[in-house]
Amino acid sequence: MEESNGFPVVRVVPLADRINQRSEAERAAHKQCGVAALRPDLRRQPRFKIEVDIRIRSRTCGTLKGRSVDISESGIAAILPIEAPLGENVELNFTLPSGPLTIHAIVRQRNAFRYGFEFVDSESVHEVIRRTCRDFAMDQSLGLA
């Protein structure tokens, strides 16, 4: 550790620089592996790209239509043209490769028009999501994704 006038010198790295460095490293790792999962090292479960129409039923906003971005065992992200209230319990309707699915979720995050939904449904519905994510992971490892 460096010292100046008997006091330790602390080097401050701007948060934006740290984020940019991490993002560049993540991009390089994903590009090298050809991975469709997004940021698996920072998430509870890996995310997989899925672009399908999604319908959100909200008690306060009625029915909203959007487009999914990615999915994991714990939730799904979607682009919505209309604001959805954070913290609200909603019903999601979308189609997986195995067929249509209706699942309940909580609106957890918003970044501009991108929303994150955390699944809160029954174990049987979660099993459908788990199987789908396992299939996506298998496709990805075989280079089919």
Per-residue pLDDT tens over the stretch 107-141: 999 999 999 999 997 788 888 999 999 998 888 88
Task: Tell me phi and psi for residue 40, to 5 degrees.
Answer: -65, -25
Asked if pLDDT for residue 19 goes beyond 90, the answer is no
Q: What's the mean pLDDT when you consider all of the chain? A: 79
The closest of 100, 82, 102, 84 to 92, measured between CA atoms, is 102
pTM attached to this predicted model: 0.68
Q: Which among 94, 91, 117, 115 is positioned nearest to 104, based on CA atoms?
A: 91
